[in-house]
Amino acid sequence: MMKKVFVFFGALLCSCALFAENFKPKNLTVGEFFENPIGYSLDDLSISWQLPLIRNGISQTAYRVIASRSATDFSTLVWDSGKVMSSQSVKVRYGGAPISSRERIYWKVRVWDENGVESDWSDVNFFEAGLLSQDDWQAKWILTTEKPHNLYFYKSPYNWGKVFPDGKRPRMGVAPIHVRKSFESDKPISARLYVSSLGIFHAFINGKKIDNDYWKTGWTDYNKRVQSNTYDVTKYLTSGKNVLAFTLADGWYASRIQSYKVCRAPKIIAQLELTYADGSKKVFATDESWKFSKCAITYADVYDGEIYDATKEIYGWNKIDFDDSAWGNVLAENVGKAPIIEPRRNQPVVVKEKLYPLSVTKISRSAYIFDFGQNMVGVPVVKIPRLKKGTEIKLRFAEMLNKDGTMYTENYRSAISTDFYTSNGKPTTYEPNFTFHGYRYLEVSGLPYGVELTADDVYSKVLYNDMQLTGKFVCSHPKVNQLQSNIQWGQRGNYLEVPTDCPQRDERVGWTGDAQVFIPTGAFNMNVNAFFAKWCQSLLDNQTPEGAFPHVAPSNWRGVSPAWCDAGVICPWEIYLAYADVKILKNCYDGMCKWVEFVKKTSKNLIRPEVGFGDWLQPSTTFGKDSSKWCGNTPKSLIGTAYFFKCATIMQKVATILGKADDAKYFKNLAEDVRKAYIKEFVKADGTVATNSQTGYLLTLAFDILPEANRQKTFDKFVKKFAEDKYYLDTGFVGTPLLAPVFTKFGRMDLACRLVLNEGYPSWLYTINQGATTMWERWNSYSHKDGFGEAKMNSFNHYAYGAIGEWLYRDLGGLWHTEDAVGYKKIAFAPKLQNKFTFATVNKETPYGTAQSSWKIEGNKMLWDLIIPANSSGQITLPTNSPTNATINGKPATSLKFEIPSGFHKIEIKK
């Protein structure tokens, strides 16, 4: 269980210290909330800032932004907004001239409060552009002359259960290589290294590693675009001889995750630009003069792990005085029109946390299993003692153990997920370089007799994109607190470069259905604005000319499925709601329109065909190895038509926001026509929906497809069905996220709580009772009674069912964004009380600052503490029948629903 409990600290916060804070804007960011970014995407640039919460009611009525090319001299400006009468402090459009490649702009802001008082200027922040055009690249792509070896061929990425003994399976790909080039230079006053890769790399200057990010320029549709990274490397260069070097590996580009049909070699392009004290510049770039060599890493793959042979290490290969005359010459290719090389859109993958073993078990004379107590994603760091040269150590990974204490790996399917380290006779520390693993358990084997390992010899680095954790939730029920931990750990593990379905088996791809059902929860727990801005571009890049979005992105896995492909409309919309990001709506608008038109053209009388994954993994219909039976009993046509209606409704709103009145009218009429067709096809006069499945009712009610007057009788039918199912869920990926919200929407918080607190199969707490530390793909992936489920589809880190988090935060905790003032400009505070819970606290780092809803029951009173960030407001809905029962900051309430300004507020409600 989670031991850490967030206390009711609304009243305990030292407001005196906060109120003494200077009145000046703080936490300045640009674009997708980047702080002082170097080399990130600056397209359609916006800027944001926060106000300090120095008193209740503080808000902004005007602002002025000034920008300069100097950090200290703002007498000559490149932009002066003037005093703008506006309360906007999030996503304010940058009004300066278009940014040029390499350009750095410094900026600061001051504001006027609700009383017209002028603030101090903020601290100075900056943003710096990377290389914005193909023409900026003087460098060439370089790659090895070694031919890729193709020792086995996967006709499909799903090669169920192909097993080779002892982890020794045929492998494919290109062995990682070292590349390097030395050069002469004076000591520069500024140096920038611009790098892009079709593959992944480590970068070195004069023997020192210059980066702390993993998986480098990320995963995109490499046929169309690839990201570039920019590094400030000034401190690494010296006067005289220098050397720039890389280790280059397959990554997503050349591993079997992306190229199971064809082998290809990874490539890298790098441009080092130096600026000297006299203003002169030099460029050193990759070209055919670079040298390459094989290295100690003889194999590395996303799925299969890494082979490291320390006997093949090349000492000093990345240092100045190394002789590379025996190395081979690289191949070089000019930069063409494709793929487009562009600055990165999102934060890189980094080490976010470190986990240490809770226990270590010696399972044989030469093998140990380390239990980290938490299913996670990353790489281990293992101390390798002095061993006989040539000794091979094997690292295996598992999410679970078999009953006999051995590693359960059948659910990894064809993914080998094994690392091998061959000793050179010297003690060292080994960390896999160019792979990652999903695991809780690490097995280290191959140790000679007498060599012991302890828990102090191993730890794990947790990897995911460098996103701020923005949401916290805790309540009076320990198992629900563990559920929140599982939700967040599932998100950590699956928000690695793209929103994957799972991080451990031979899949690990950006499934769109998982992403769209979870995105409201994901955007609450982390700042995912940039993460989804980048991934939504992949959706657009993979969209067909006819308008169909893929069900996986980025990928060449294509297919049309309702609820999956609809992510192309739903995800940009949810990002807009969470972050007031109009830019993502602009960027995606044409693609969103094309998708809705594709759906319309491929429907018959506005009813979708029977295609797709259905209500995937509905418990009562999912059994055995026949995956055709895993799609549930809700008609796929119903699911598709419901989502058709939802997308048309969203598009009406998006068109209105973007000022496209004719489009808005078109989508409004289309949604109404789809509504009528849906009701005619799937809803009976007595309120029964289609096959009387839970998911059929949920889609109908959650999406407001029925006229308001007809909704209650359909809800009553749903409740009857739920009772027939013994008050347990019988829903898959599509229906499950809607269960608790629909119960709550229709005033049955008692049923929502009963659902969430169920402990039998299938339920959230059932998995926790079986030992879950992340969300599972199936409710019965494992049970103490029956053991493991069908290995073919048995991930123990599958975040989709974590979508229940939205209900925990919004309905139980009582804090969410509003649609009429998005991005938490206005915050909805509306907890729904139920006697199964005696307290709940939810915290959210919003674009405006910290928000909190913290309530508890004491005797016959509800004590409710609120924090509303500066320049925001709260829309309060009291959880009582009469306002006469409530006081607000000691004063009687006069209504059940009202707005209050920013600040610290106390509400007391008598039962």
CA distance 729 to 347: 37
CB-facing half-sphere around the CA of 60: CA atoms within 13 A: 30
CA 868 vs CA 95, 114, 139, 847, 905: distances in Å: 30, 16, 51, 12, 8
Phi and psi based region of residue 875 (left: phi greater than 0; alpha: psi -120 to 50; beta: remaining) = beta
- Residue 777 falls in the annotated catalytic set: yes
| Number of other CB atoms surrounding residue 447 within 10 Å | 21
Q: Quick one: how many helices (H) and strands (E) in the chain?
A: 15, 47
Q: Are 696 and 724 in contact (CB under 8 A)?
A: no
Integer CA distances (angstroms), 365 to 339, 362, 380, 448, in order: 52, 7, 22, 8
771: region left, alpha or beta (phi > 0 left; psi from -120 to 50 alpha)? left
Is 790 one of the catalytic residues? Answer: no
| CA atoms of 784 and 354, how far apart (whole Å) | 29
Give me 183's structure tokens.
């050069």
Q: Distance (Å, rounded) from C-alpha 176 to C-alpha 434?
A: 9
For residue 134, list its beta bridge partners.
none
The identity of residue 480, as a single letter, is: V
Dihedral over Cα of 650, 651, 656, 659: its sign: positive
Which of 497, 507, 574, 845 is catalytic? The answer is: 507
Nearest in space to 848 (alpha carbons), one of 828, 833, 868, 864? 868
Closest to 377 in 3D by CA, of 477, 250, 463, 255: 463
Contact 142, 179 (CB under 8 A): yes
Alpha carbon 327 to its chain centroid, in Å, reads 41
d(C-alpha 906, C-alpha 861), whole Å: 13
CA distance 110 to 348: 31
Catalytic residue among 306, 399, 777, 806: 777
Positions annotated as catalytic residues are: 507, 777
